[in-house]
Chain A
Amino acid sequence: MLDHLTKAAARNIFYGGTLFFFIAFAVLVGDSVRRARVMEANHPISDAVAHGKRVWEQHACFDCHTLYGEGARFAPELGKVWLKYGGAKDPDGAREALKNWFAAQPTGVEGRHQMPQFHLSDTNVNDVISYLQWTSTVDTQGWPPHAPE
């Protein structure tokens, strides 16, 4: 195998091809970033949402939960949890229900995965909920299956 390929040719194909594919990738990523900015203009990221994302990161929520399927699989997917709680029709009700959820942890139910009590301040709870409200507005190409409307 590879008898007709010289080492110099193999080297040139490797470097040339890598450069070509990386440029192609960068162009596509650039276009996707532009579209994400357009989406952001339609669904502005308020200070509360941006801070909520920081709360999410500082408590390593992704080390149990997933957002759009990424993170750990120890706890439920939360990308569209706002809609699951009926946030599209009754935002105040959804916010209240999610706050109660945070307050009720850990449940201590035998055999169930446990979530810690993070003792979040009112601002932090509100902001992380605002963040999850924002994530529910992103067009995820119909993922996950059976996502609430």
Chain B
Amino acid sequence: MKYQSQQVAKLYFNGALLIFSLQILFGLIGATIYVAPTLVPVDVLPFSVVRMIHTNALIVWLLMGFFGCAYFLLPEETENELYSPLLAKVQFWLFLVAAVVAVLGYLVGNYDGRSYLEQPLYIKLGIVVVALMFLFNCTMTIVRGRNTVITGILIMGLWGIAIFFLFGFYVPANLVIDKMFWWWVVHLWVEGVWELVMASVLAFLLIKLTGVDREIVEKWLYVIVGLALFSGILGTGHHYYWIGTPAYWQWVGNIFSSLEPLPFFAMVIFAFGMVWKGGRDHPNKAALLWSLGCAVMAFFGAGVWGFLHTLSFINYYTHGTQVTAAHGHLAFYGAYATINLAMITYAMPLLRGRAPYNQVLNMWSFWMLTGGVVLMSVVLTFGGVLQTHLERVMGMDYTEVQQQLTLFYIMRLVGGGAVTLGLILYLVAILLPPREPARLAAAE
């Protein structure tokens, strides 16, 4: 670690891991309700609140991770200290308090809005303040220092996140228009600007871990983010098939969203190519595993699992079934959870002033977490296909079909158990001191 102000990233990474744990806890509760619907009294904790906390915690910890990634990466890339470490700390506590207040509010029924945007207005305004503090700090750091392609793409992605969030304030009474602009937040985030953040963080990690020439990495970065936005922006069409929008979206969505796997495929080629080319034998093997795992899992989760049901004539049947849930889990984990966990694995030993310790445990956590999410996603895919057939092809009633899916939901809960175990291993590997005190002493 070269710059003192990078230390603020530690705060963000710790916060991200805390909220990640909250997300998994509520995921487990939700998966349990699916298996035993009357176990948790519905008047105390309805499924809706569980899902709201599960999905909101996901978004908050990923964003908190992105903030941490930016604060860790920017000083090294721009070759100067952060504009204001104090502002970064204030921003962290404001964001954490907003998240905690939101979750406590959800538990007592204080929510309002649409899916993923359930935050009451004052929390949403708080998020805007947090975003402005963050963007100001990052932009000023970049303006004062060296400009690289990585910082350029990263800051474009981060500004994009903030700008598209503003569409969350627009809630027209016309449901069709409401849905169209709801996707401007949801789709243009995860299939647009978030990919810029992901690709730039991955590029940073690969430069550090493989020692490959910056010039080559930067050219690849432009190609990857170009493919992401050229396919992703009009790829929004795949959400405009059945929401009251004109039929031409079926053409637009079919053509452009079919191309959405390409940037993820390019990332796989890029990541493995750089490791192949790079001569550096970096000691942090776990960070390299997470980085390569990120590229591969993003390709399968976002790319392949997205393509499975993106064509309108398939989506006509699968839309709004467990197939969507399967894709959602694998894509969010593959693309965005792993990039954060990769960066945390790389940065935490540096921030804590220790050699990359507990590597083997960390690598076990990768396989456990990944295996768990893959199991959940695969069983939900099979369950979703069965649901699609019974409900959408045969025309059976929703509730009747759910009775047929119990086995899949039980196996999904098992997958969730594996994810929980993987998370515990990861937390132990990252947060607890290494087992061999000798290595700790040597590192210091």
Contact = CB atoms under 8 A, between A and B. Distances in A.
Interface of A: 1-2, 5-7, 10-11, 13-14, 17-18, 21-22, 24-25, 28-29, 31-33, 35-37, 39-40, 45, 49-50, 53, 57-64, 66-77, 106, 108-117, 134-135, 138-146
Nearest to A147: B395
Given A14-B222, A21-B233, A36 B242 contact: no
A61 B112 CA distance: 10
Contact of A140 (B111, B233, B243, B250): B243
B249 A145 contact: no
A11 B222 CA distance: 6
A63 B242 contact: no
A112 B402 CA distance: 8
A25 B234 contact: yes
Given A7-B215, A68-B243, A141-B242, A114 B317 contact: no
Contacts, number: 197
A57 B246 contact: no
8 contacts: A39-B176, A58-B112, A63-B52, A68-B244, A73-B325, A106-B42, A110-B38, A138-B244
A94 B220 CA distance: 58
Contact of B245 (A7, A32, A67): A32
A53 B226 contact: no
Interface in B164-178: 171, 173-178
Interface residues on B, range: 35 or more
Interface string B100-120: 000000000001111100100
A67 B177 CA distance: 14
A141 B46 CA distance: 33
Contacts of A21: 229-230, 233-234
B176 A36 contact: yes
A131 to B, nearest CB: 8
